[in-house]
Amino acid sequence: MSRSRTNLGTGELLVELRRDLSVPLHQQLESGIRDRIRQGLLRAGAVMPATRALATDLGLSRGVVVEAYQQLVAEGYLVSRTGGYTQVAPAAAGIQVEQKSAAATGEPPRIDFKYSKPDVSQFPRAAWLRSIRKVLNETPNRSLAYLDGRGTAELREALADYLNRVRGTSARPENMLICNGFAQGSRLLLQVLAAAGYRRLAVEDPSDNEVRDVATKAGLETVGVPVLETGLEVEALERSGADVVLVTAAHQFPTGAVASARTRAGLVAWATKHDVLVIEDDYDAEYRYDREPIGAIQGLAPESVVYAGTASKTLAPGLRLGWLILPSRLVEPMSTAKVLDDRGSPVFDQLTFADFVARGEFDRHLRRMRPRYRRLRDTLVGRLTERVPDLVPIGVSAGLHVMTWLPPDLTEAAVTNAALERGLGVYGLAPYWVEKAGPEGLVFGYGNLTEPAIVEGIDLLADALGSLRRQ
Ligand SMILES: Cc1ncc(COP(=O)(O)O)c(C=O)c1O
């Protein structure tokens, strides 16, 4: 393909490559392009420069650019077209782009199965207000000074008690750190680990894609390790050469698998044998509908596991409240990193949440939300079974999302596009594959939908699949 075919200005592809990092250049290039697509700086449908031309511009070998393009095609960010050129995928392929470019592609879907939205209309405002009032009335002036990098003692104590009781962790207030959600906690942690000499992060394949970019920016290589029905494949982790692994053991995102006792023991054995680290992202363990959640791995090996929790699924993502339980050796560097990053999370929010947890309001809120989410999930699974029985839900009855594989005659791109034409947002698995594109599937978030909207959404999906199959 000639270079003139591209409709991108050179400025749109400015990707900073750092040759002093151990992160391979193709991963840095991937991460840079992925970011620019997400930020809407590379428009849906834009034609990418030819690999040879881009390689020359960036002073890279062509193979590096080819590898980066191939990975981004596998993830669904780019599509390769007949005629040998590569385009930014249409936004409908399910890639998260920021508002600017999403708006340019037209109306948002009327019914949207996008994941990561709990039902914030159920935020316990009255109970939260009682805690705010109490905190404002009772907090002494001295608590309004700059904070310990770990956060307020009150919240660390309340959360340590709660997690030890409910999640089987072995938390001590002095080993806890309050952060602005998993996003900040994981970013600071990966930066601290990279500075301490860690080199390679293993992630579940498939898994949430954002953290991979964060790891690359921190200077860590990432490697995908397959997920089985019993959780991460520990034998493959052994072979991966990783010195830190990130797992969603209690409810794998996106497959919904639960790590078996054998997998959890295997992860602990791997970490202790090689003196390496497990990061346990326990993002939605509070929502189990037909069984008790498995206990946190952190409780088995507190000095080999970083436990990460968040209020984003249980209360609201906008709160930006998250917490880490750290092995002793990471407390001081993480606390310093948090102070350098933002001088600590807002003190009244922390104290309000501490009071809310300590007074049992958090437990009460979860007891109220569990049956609501369970009803939504049952409605979704029931309607899928009725209307599109070849989309079989996998994973345990838990959390705020359901995954299904797609039958071989359907592709994610075709299904998501046909759904969007009907005002329906459904999302493919492509962005979550790490090493190479895997089987096609869909992830349905249902947390902020109503039962009638779910029923109507699945009916629209059945209609979309019917018309695709008739074509
Ligand atoms: C796998 C996973 N972990 C953690 C989180 C929570 O992130 P945060 O606490 O930054 O909102 C999410 C949110 O969608 C998630 O999908």
Amino acid 30 reads E
305-310 and 277-281 strand pairing: parallel
CA dist 402 and 115 (Å) reads 9
The residue-averaged pLDDT of 11-31 equals 79
The residue contributing the CA closest to ligand 1 atom 3 is 283
Closest ligand 1 atom, CA of 311? 9
CB 316 within 8 A of CB 283: no
pLDDT-derived band at 100, boundaries 50, 70, 90: very low
CA dist 111 and 446 (Å) reads 10
* Helix intervals (H) in 97-180: 99-104, 125-138, 153-166
pLDDT value at position 88?
87
- Kindly report, residue by residue over 78-99, the tens digit of the pLDDT: 888 878 888 888 763 445 444 3
- Kindly report, residue by residue over 427-465, the tens digit of the pLDDT: 999 999 999 999 999 999 999 999 999 999 999 999 999
CATH number of 3-93: 1.10.10.10
Which one of 310, 349, 353, 401 would you pick to mutate in the ligand 1 pocket, going by the greatest count of ligand atoms within 8 A of its CB?
310
* Class of domain 124-363 as given by CATH: alpha beta
The answer for residues whose C-beta is within 8 angstroms of residue 306's C-beta and 6 or more apart is 189, 277, 278, 279, 280, 298, 324, 325, 326, 327, 330
* Class of domain 99-121+365-470 as given by CATH: alpha beta
CA dist 386 and 310 (Å) reads 35
- Kindly report, residue by residue over 101-147, the tens digit of the pLDDT: 333 456 789 999 999 889 999 999 999 999 999 999 999 999 999 98
Tokens of 186: 């994981």
- Count CB atoms within 10 A of the CB of residue 240: 18
The answer for residues whose C-beta is within 8 angstroms of residue 3's C-beta and 6 or more apart is 49, 50, 53
Which one of 182, 214, 307, 402 would you pick to mutate in the ligand 1 pocket, going by the greatest count of ligand atoms within 8 A of its CB?
182
The residue-averaged pLDDT of 235-260 equals 97
Is any atom of ligand 1 closer than 6 Å to the C-beta of 6? no
Closest ligand 1 atom, CA of 184? 10
- Kindly report, residue by residue over 60-77, the tens digit of the pLDDT: 899 998 888 888 887 778
Is any atom of ligand 1 closer than 6 Å to the C-beta of 323? no
- Kindly report, residue by residue over 366-386, the tens digit of the pLDDT: 999 999 999 999 999 999 999
The residue-averaged pLDDT of 334-351 equals 98
- Whether 8 has a pLDDT exceeding 90, the answer reads no
CA 253 – ligand 1 centroid, Å: 10
The residues spanned by each domain of the chain are: 3-93, 99-121+365-470, 124-363
Is any atom of ligand 1 closer than 6 Å to the C-beta of 219? no
